[in-house]
Amino acid sequence: MVIQKILGHDISNLREMFGTLFFGCFMTSNLILALDVCGSRRGYVLYESVSKPIMTMMVKHLSEDVSFSPCLQTAPNTRIPAVNQPYRTSFHFQPERNWMNGPMIYKGIYHLFYQYNPSGALSGTKVWGHSTSTDLINWIPHDPAIYPSQLSDSNGCWSGSATILPWGQPAILYTGIDQQGQQVQNLAIPKNLSDPYLLEWVKSPNNPLMAPTPINKIDPNSFRDPSTAWLGLDGRWRMIIGSVRRNRGMAILYRSKDFVHWTKAQHPLYSAKDTGMWECPDFFPVSNSSMNGVDTSMLGSSIKHVLKASLNGHDSYTIGTYNHDKDIYIPDNGSMESDPRLRYDYGRYYASKTFFDSAKNRRILWGWISEGTTNGTLDIMKGWSGIQGFPRQIWLDKSGKQLMQWPIAEIEKLRRNQVDMPSMVLKGGSVLEVSGVNATQADVDIAFEIPKLDKVELLDPSWTDPQQLCSQKGALVGGELGPFGLKVLASKGLQEYTAVFFRIFKDQNKFVVLMCSDQSRSSSNLDYDKSTYGAFVDVDPVNEKLSLRTLIDHSVVESFGGEGKTCITARVYPTLAIDSGAHLYTFNNGTQNVTISRLSAWSMEKAQIRARESDVNLSGAGRRRRERNSVFGEWVTHDLDSRLTLTLKNYVSGIFDKATL
């Protein structure tokens, strides 16, 4: 069996191990898996060798009332103070300190692995941070799961994905930066399958499994982010890796019979000219007849496929057909280069990854939201950088033309103090405050109806760029129908606010709906980016309501228009509209009246990030005992300015048997 060759265990013992792991997880939330820890690689400071500091310490001596994240840069035995800053989020995942990007999820207990820089709040040499959750809302941080320890990742452990092998065995493929600074692909598996927290991981002695060579002509600086693998009808695994050749972005295809020995296909799964480097590629099936998600290896007549790539600062995707006989992907309409309109999000959202949640038969999307600072010094001053977007369920729209996205239902656990407003006419030029809600931490759901569509501004044929159109026609520029929507994180006198709104235009015999997120007045501080984002929404205002749902969390504003057809995420940093100084308004700056048919708002509780009881006292002798028994060898712990040096002694016999077919 393939799994037996990889693990080197007797298969009967393996089944015994899974009797606890798999069925125990299935009873609570089943076995979940997917992973990505992607992000921008600009400005990396690579360590010269594995002997450089990987992390400064492990978290020690924490009381229950102290929130923390893994691998903080703090001296041993130091109590970690809670961070109290107006821009830290309350229900979006982010580290207590330092720099992070890109996500993964894994098991049911959900696992979130993410790129993390333990050395500071700017990009640098990465380890894999690790947190777990039972509800995707409240998290338990753990020690880093993967860190530089081999020649193939001595300069950093970058992005990757996880795959469930037969019998439920998880395996992680990730990009390492080797001693020459090349991007290569490595494999790791859990040391102890009976540990539901998967705290320790073992790397293959065969690493790197895939590397640039003169024969394959792969650019060693553009070869990263292996995807979740899928199993073909011929019994071979496939997965893709992002790359570029002569500005032609591509998803390089690899195949394997044993998940250890990989062969590059003669052709990419798909490529597109003039798109540049493809980061964090993702390839997965969606049902064309249901909102339910499907396993990554699913094929059939009721299945479409989605190919996504992170490029040019956005996550673009196409919907199409996967020809599994030829191992090629064919977009239904257009391509990455000719039809770039399909994006997960039209704002500050990047390096995303989906996974199939088999417990609830859904596919969930995670994305990285970067800071909106124009000066890295500000990130250093506040001590952290980057957050995860709130997890979204995604499915194929009934039209088959695009994906739908919506915050996962678990968010409702955090709702408090519901405020409902009755249906009313919102006259042109009016502003109405929504009171009784914590305006810095809220979930707002509003829907508009348009009573009359006889007076509508004509859409100029040159207005093809929605973001530029939103910049030209911001919240202060009145029109016929619009702008109307929400002003969030607003000061009392409206000196500061972020406006999320709609405009309606007439284009020949149809109406066009524009959705904007205008940050131009979000802050009086000039050191923050205040871009305006925009996109067209595929809704018919004649027969449909215009819905807008917005999640407000101190410095992040995630908005979902048209029941999730269009999403825009913003980072904002008000100076007046913070804490009790923040207000929430609905407004109509057009000349025509609109009707609010629905408005509900909730104050949101703070998500919990806390240690497991068994983790709180992992310091001292107990901690060192666990480290001495580690499969990797010994952690050598020094004082204050010390480093943790990883010595690779011997791998446990048989854990990584060299698989042969």
- Same domain for 629 and 566? no
Q: Is residue 418 part of a domain?
A: no
Close Cβ partners of 165 (under 8 Å, ≥ 6 residues apart) = 2, 3, 6, 171, 259
Across 80-89, 230-239, 647-656, the highest mean pLDDT is recorded for 230-239
- For the cut 90, the answer to whether the pLDDT of residue 263 exceeds it is yes
**pTM attached to this predicted model:** 0.82
- For the cut 50, the answer to whether the pLDDT of residue 148 exceeds it is yes
Q: Is residue 627 part of a domain?
A: yes
- Same domain for 88 and 218? yes
pLDDT of residue 375: 66
Across 100-104, 142-146, 203-207, the highest mean pLDDT is recorded for 203-207
pLDDT of residue 123: 59
Q: Which of 298-307, 375-384, 546-555, 582-591 has the lowest mean pLDDT?
A: 375-384
- Same domain for 390 and 457? no
Structure tokens at 372: 């909106």
- Same domain for 362 and 503? no
| Phi and psi torsions of 168, nearest 5° | 85, 10
- Same domain for 637 and 566? no
Across 71-80, 140-149, 382-391, 497-506, the highest mean pLDDT is recorded for 497-506
pLDDT in tens, 335-346: 676 555 699 999
Report which of 539, 537, 513 is spatially closest to residue 456, judged by C-alpha positions: 513
Structure tokens at 125: 């040499």
- For the cut 50, the answer to whether the pLDDT of residue 179 exceeds it is yes
Longest dimension (CA), the chain: 77
pLDDT of residue 653: 32
| Phi and psi torsions of 147, nearest 5° | -145, 160
Q: Is residue 414 part of a domain?
A: no
pLDDT of residue 136: 93
- For the cut 80, the answer to whether the pLDDT of residue 538 exceeds it is yes
CATH of the domain at 156: 2.115.10.20
- For the cut 90, the answer to whether the pLDDT of residue 125 exceeds it is no
Give the neighbor-by-neighbor strand order of the sheet with 314-323: 279-287, 303-311, 314-323, 328-331
Q: Is residue 656 part of a domain?
A: no
pLDDT in tens, 397-412: 999 999 999 999 999 9
Close Cβ partners of 178 (under 8 Å, ≥ 6 residues apart) = 151, 152, 153, 154, 155, 184, 208, 211
Higher-confidence residue: 8 or 251?
251
pLDDT of residue 36: 36
pLDDT of residue 30: 27
pLDDT in tens, 514-526: 999 999 999 999 8
Percentage of residues in the chain with pLDDT exceeding 90? Answer: 61
Indicate the number of domains in the chain.
3
Cα distances (angstroms) measured from residue 647 to each of 116, 628, 634, 644? 22, 11, 6, 10
Report which of 177, 507, 164 is spatially closest to residue 355, judged by C-alpha positions: 164
How distant is the alpha carbon of residue 53 from its chain centre? 27
Q: In whole angstroms, what is the distance from residue 241 CA to residue 222 CA?
A: 10
Higher-confidence residue: 256 or 25?
256
pLDDT of residue 526: 86
- With residue 615 as reference, give the H or E element that holds it: helix 613-616
pLDDT of residue 170: 86
Place of tokens 């360590």: 47
SS3 label, residue 97 = coil
- Reported as a pLDDT band with limits 50, 70 and 90, residue 383 is low
Higher-confidence residue: 16 or 598?
598
Q: Tell me the mean pLDDT in the region 261-275.
A: 96
Q: Tell me the mean pLDDT in the region 283-297.
A: 96
pLDDT in tens, 186-196: 999 999 988 88
- Same domain for 596 and 449? yes
DSSP 181: S
Q: How many CB atoms lie within 10 A of CB 295?
A: 16
Place of tokens 């015994």: 16
Q: Is residue 406 part of a domain?
A: no
Q: How far apart are the first and last CA of the chain?
A: 9
Q: Identify whether the C-beta of residue 98 lies closer than 8 Å to the C-beta of residue 108.
A: no
Q: Is residue 193 part of a domain?
A: yes
- For the cut 90, the answer to whether the pLDDT of residue 381 exceeds it is no
pLDDT of residue 655: 45
Q: Which of 33-37, 358-362, 375-379 has the lowest mean pLDDT?
A: 33-37
pLDDT of residue 135: 93
- For the cut 70, the answer to whether the pLDDT of residue 656 exceeds it is no
- Same domain for 289 and 148? yes
- Same domain for 329 and 465? no
Q: Identify whether the C-beta of residue 542 lies closer than 8 Å to the C-beta of residue 453.
A: yes
Structure tokens at 438: 């914590």
- Reported as a pLDDT band with limits 50, 70 and 90, residue 333 is confident
Q: Tell me the mean pLDDT in the region 608-618.
A: 57
Q: What is the mean pLDDT of the chain?
A: 79
Q: In whole angstroms, what is the distance from residue 454 CA to residue 441 CA?
A: 38
CATH of the domain at 553: 2.60.120.560
Q: Is residue 415 part of a domain?
A: no
Q: Which domain holds residue 186?
A: 2-396
pLDDT of residue 541: 97
- Reported as a pLDDT band with limits 50, 70 and 90, residue 371 is confident
- Same domain for 336 and 237? yes
- Same domain for 240 and 370? yes
- For the cut 50, the answer to whether the pLDDT of residue 549 exceeds it is yes
Q: How many CB atoms lie within 10 A of CB 219?
A: 14
SS3 label, residue 622 = helix
pLDDT in tens, 560-609: 999 999 999 999 999 999 999 999 999 999 999 999 999 999 999 999 98
Higher-confidence residue: 616 or 536?
536
- Same domain for 209 and 258? yes
pLDDT in tens, 428-451: 999 999 999 999 999 999 999 999
Exposed, middle or buried: residue 360 (CB in 10 Å: 0-12, 13-18, 19+)? middle
- Same domain for 220 and 318? yes
pLDDT of residue 335: 63
Q: Is residue 468 part of a domain?
A: yes
Strands (E), 118-235: 127-133, 140-146, 157-164, 170-177, 183-190, 201-203, 223-224, 230-231
The H-assigned helical ranges of 438-477 are: 466-472
Q: Tell me the mean pLDDT in the region 2-19.
A: 31
Q: In whole angstroms, what is the distance from residue 388 CA to residue 378 CA?
A: 19
- Reported as a pLDDT band with limits 50, 70 and 90, residue 108 is confident
Higher-confidence residue: 198 or 121?
198
